[in-house]
Structure 1
Amino acid sequence: MDVPAPVARFIEYLRIKTVQPTPDYAGCREYLRGQALELGLGFQAHEYVAGKPVVVLTWEGTEPGLASIVLNSHTDVVPVFEEFWTHPPFEAARVATADGGDYQIIARGAQDMKIVGHCYLEAIRAMQQRGERVRRTVHAVFVPDEEIGGHDGMALFVESPEFAALNAGFALDEGIASTGDALRVFYGERAPCWAKFVAHGRTGHGSQFIEDTAAEKLVPIVDRLMAFRREQLAEFRTPNADGSAKALGDVTSINLTLLHSGVQQNVVPESATAGFDIRMTPTTDYRAFRRWLGDLAAEHGAELEIVQFWDDSTTTPTDATNPFWPAFEAAVAAQGIAIEREIFPAATDSRYLRRAGIPALGVTPLRNTPILLHDHNEYVLQSDVLAGIEFYARIVAAVANVPG
């Protein structure tokens, strides 16, 4: 069977090896430049860090003075372990499903998140082919380095005069596939807090009762944080008042991810280190939580190093106070799709947009789909790519026609 043109372009995009730590951003920029030319879109590429372009493709609205719509996606993808893949991860193989009724597009970035960026452009293409116009200018934004924190991408872009010139009023960004029939829509996200505790103490022969050791200082800190983890896990497992299950984003997760101490079995170590990956739900007082960590370290004579910390808990309203929400919700409902509103369990570039005052929703148009972001054999179905194009065409038409 011939490959549909939108799917062929998707495969071309997936084959651009934008894999960390050395993504081919130059090749990606030129691919997007070609798409802009085909679609008659404005094209800009800004580098706030050399070799890491932020690319903006612009479809001007009929009322360009209105606040614009930003369709954001990141171009980088995470590394792969090729030996675990059934097909080369940057070949973007198109493989028939077992029943012969569809095709899998197998590639790194298929779900996270090149399908989203690709469907933005294909939605604009479809709308243009139907002769549709929208009131508000639409900017498809492709940013680098989201997979390593976005510090050289969206974080710098939102502070730039070029971003201010977009006059952004509302944004869409990535979500996560849903294993069920409802569409997951993320209106906020948990904040990362990576904390490292380092204790120093007396050393000596391992046969002695040496006091005031590094381990004696560190263990109570680990115990307290793991107790907090158990408290949050119990909260996560407790149903909501209406009997529904909590989402992961509703609680604060904590994992002990680093432990380091010792040089030899019979030598009491001079230092001990424990590192934690903590993701704080937006109902947490982030600054108070950070102070608690500092107090815990001080109480036990240890040092606290904050490796990463996000202190903004802004969420996007999902009611009429956000004029774009009713339009978005109605456009989804018109397609017969139910919505599950959630807090994103990890971090995306939406946090920079929300902190800048731009309401943002995270959506990936994949339902009844296994969650394979960052996994081996990441894939999407061809039918989902084609459905995603029409999904975004309707969403863009709705939000970009919200009156001023």
Structure 2
Amino acid sequence: MSLYDDTLDLLQELIRNACVNDLTADSGEEYRNAATLEKFFEGTDVKVQKFEPHPGRVSVAFTVEGSDPQAEPLTLLGHTDVVPVDEPKWTKPPFDALIEDGKLYGRGAVDMLFITASQAAVTRKIAQGPRPKGTLTFVGLADEEARGGLGAKWISENQPEAFSWRNCLSETGGSHLPVLDGSDAIGFNVGEKGAGQRRIHVHGDAGHGSTPFGKDFAVVKIAEVARRIAAAQPPAVSNETWEGFVRAFKFDAATEQVLIDGTATDSDYEKFGALSAYAHAFSHTTIAQTVLRAGGAINVLPSHAWLEMDIRPFPGQTQEDLDDFLRTALGDLADEVEIEHLITEPATHSPADGPLWDAIVSTTQEFFPDAAVVPVHATGGSDLRFARRLEGDNGGRAYGFAMHARDRDMASANSQLHSHDEHLYLEDLELTVRAYDSLVHKFLGLR
């Protein structure tokens, strides 16, 4: 069988294992995909390491030792969990890995099992051939969808020496930008926004619902908190990565200027078309109000209410900066609220230079010779941030990498993430397998 056929078969089995992570510790059950991967590597000369910080939450690493200790190592980080499905809203079975009209349907097909399967297949091919100069490791990671607490985060904090974090590839990249003059540009993630989750508490008067006169309502107060935060406008950020992204679109000079200097209006962002929401999130701290709680019984005035927010800071922004912004937005209500920190993580960034970035650029040019290669930031999260955070020889450059056909621009590729009827074009699977094969062989001194 060909490398592509091996990858497709593995991908379908990973989907069918249905390792659904609902963000609770006992979900995921990635031991099924770990077992599939162990079977896939049977008979090869690889070192296998398993990590199980919680029953059933298994990550597994496969390492092909290099012949030259001084050569650059490469680590491929692929997660094996998927998000839940709202099955009545799917028109295709979410875990059958059905192929129809050149597309593979299934939860996780795009996020990110097609990359995980490609990484595994290429690593197995390397293990079966001549020994590479640099050490290659593929890791099938649990719990990425819950921010890696039982996967990459746990390994990076508890067993960081298990494999190299110096040069890492994971999700996402390789989709095309809709450049205005019709030329081609392809984005690859070099960084991602952080996490600044908050829970804001307010308190009011308790009492019977039949006598509300003169009461301080916690519900009314939390509603005003939500309104004020929604009305506040986080400032735009401008950095080298954002500026390069803007310039790649080849807007008129006036539009380019306001997008870069932070004075752009909503109508300016709308010029990104289907990528307008992504572009706005790329250049701003985003605040999404997602959970609101107050009360229980309809005849009781609740004395406590709280609002939870998913906040994503950009590189360089601190948690103190976020709290200052919220307090300013709340104005005279600031002294009446308690701001609780939930998950907080700094944004991360890798410079777009060095041997691994050069390999991404040269590999892209093999497939799309006329395309500009554009560094971008992910507005969500990935396991790459743990590689970027490790200091010294333990951590280093970490990028998203895949390869999509020209018909798949970034908006259409991103639209499949966590979507109903999630599907992958088989053309993109073939491109990604070939691209990983080429890049890995070049980087490890085999080509």
Query: Shorter-chain-normalised TM-score: which range?
Result: 0.7 to 0.9
Partner of 1:9: 10
> What per-residue deviation string (whole Å, max 9, x for no partner) do you get for residues 166-203 of structure 1?
24321011116736464331111111222121111235
- With over 3 angstroms needed to count, the CA separation of the structure-2 counterparts of 1:400 and 1:391, relative to structure 1, is same
Match of residue 404, structure 2, among 366, 369, 374: 366
CA contact (8 A) 1:247 1:342 kept: no
Q: CA deviation at 1:72?
A: 0.1
Partner of 2:142: 144
Q: How does 1:1-400 map to 2 (within 5 A)?
A: 4-21=5-22, 22-95=27-100, 97=101, 103-126=102-125, 133-161=131-159, 163-175=160-172, 178=175, 180=177, 182-203=185-206, 210=214, 212-215=216-219, 217-229=221-233, 239-240=259-260, 246=279, 248-262=281-295, 269-293=302-326, 299-310=334-345, 312-319=346-353, 322-336=354-368, 337-356=371-390, 357-367=395-405, 368-369=407-408, 370=412, 371-400=415-444
Deviates more, 1:263-272 or 1:133-142: 263-272
Paired with 1:39 and 1:85, the residues of 2 have a C-alpha distance of: 39
Paired with 1:82 and 1:223, the residues of 2 have a C-alpha distance of: 34
Deviates more, 1:177-186 or 1:248-257: 177-186
Paired with 1:372 and 1:176, the residues of 2 have a C-alpha distance of: 14
CA contact (8 A) 1:175 1:362 kept: yes
Q: CA RMSD in A?
A: 3.3
Between structures 1 and 2, the one with greater helix share: 2
Paired with 1:84 and 1:208, the residues of 2 have a C-alpha distance of: 42
Paired with 2:191 and 2:283, the residues of 1 have a C-alpha distance of: 11
Paired with 2:201 and 2:17, the residues of 1 have a C-alpha distance of: 42
Find the residue that maps to 1:45 and give its secondary structure. strand
Q: CA deviation at 1:65?
A: 4.6
Q: CA deviation at 1:114?
A: 0.7
Partner of 2:251: none
Paired with 2:195 and 2:231, the residues of 1 have a C-alpha distance of: 19
CA contact (8 A) 2:196 2:322 kept: no
Paired with 1:229 and 1:293, the residues of 2 have a C-alpha distance of: 11
Find the residue that maps to 1:346 and give its secondary structure. coil
- With over 3 angstroms needed to count, the CA separation of the structure-2 counterparts of 1:263 and 1:229, relative to structure 1, is farther
Q: CA deviation at 1:136?
A: 0.9
Residue identity matched to 2:198: A
Residue identity matched to 2:434: E
Deviates more, 1:283-292 or 1:68-77: 283-292
- With over 3 angstroms needed to count, the CA separation of the structure-2 counterparts of 1:212 and 1:69, relative to structure 1, is same
- What stretches of structure 1 of length at least 5 have no aligned partner? 98-102
Deviates more, 1:134-143 or 1:379-388: 379-388
Paired with 1:44 and 1:265, the residues of 2 have a C-alpha distance of: 54
Partner of 1:100: none
When the two structures are superposed, what TM-score results if normalisation uses the length of structure 2? 0.77
Paired with 2:429 and 2:442, the residues of 1 have a C-alpha distance of: 20
> What per-residue deviation string (whole Å, max 9, x for no partner) do you get for residues 200-232 of structure 1?
123556776626543564455334321324766
Q: CA deviation at 1:256?
A: 1.8
Q: CA deviation at 1:381?
A: 1.9
Paired with 2:404 and 2:95, the residues of 1 have a C-alpha distance of: 21
CA contact (8 A) 2:234 2:285 kept: no
CA contact (8 A) 1:328 1:399 kept: no
When the two structures are superposed, what TM-score results if normalisation uses the length of structure 1? 0.84
- What stretches of structure 2 of length at least 5 have no aligned partner? 178-183, 247-254, 273-278
CA contact (8 A) 1:331 1:394 kept: yes
Find the residue that maps to 1:14 and give its secondary structure. helix
Find the residue that maps to 1:52 and give its secondary structure. coil
Paired with 1:388 and 1:132, the residues of 2 have a C-alpha distance of: 22
CA contact (8 A) 2:291 2:308 kept: yes
- With over 3 angstroms needed to count, the CA separation of the structure-2 counterparts of 1:11 and 1:203, relative to structure 1, is closer
Paired with 2:170 and 2:203, the residues of 1 have a C-alpha distance of: 44
Paired with 2:187 and 2:130, the residues of 1 have a C-alpha distance of: 27
Paired with 1:192 and 1:226, the residues of 2 have a C-alpha distance of: 18
CA contact (8 A) 1:282 1:313 kept: yes
Q: CA deviation at 1:82?
A: 2.0
Residue identity matched to 2:427: S
Find the residue that maps to 1:274 and give its secondary structure. strand
Residue identity matched to 1:261: A
Residue identity matched to 1:91: D
Find the residue that maps to 1:159 and give its secondary structure. helix
Q: CA deviation at 1:25?
A: 2.3
Paired with 2:130 and 2:85, the residues of 1 have a C-alpha distance of: 40
Q: CA deviation at 1:137?
A: 0.4
Q: CA deviation at 1:324?
A: 2.5
Find the residue that maps to 1:178 and give its secondary structure. strand
Partner of 2:275: none
Residue identity matched to 1:170: N
- With over 3 angstroms needed to count, the CA separation of the structure-2 counterparts of 1:334 and 1:200, relative to structure 1, is same
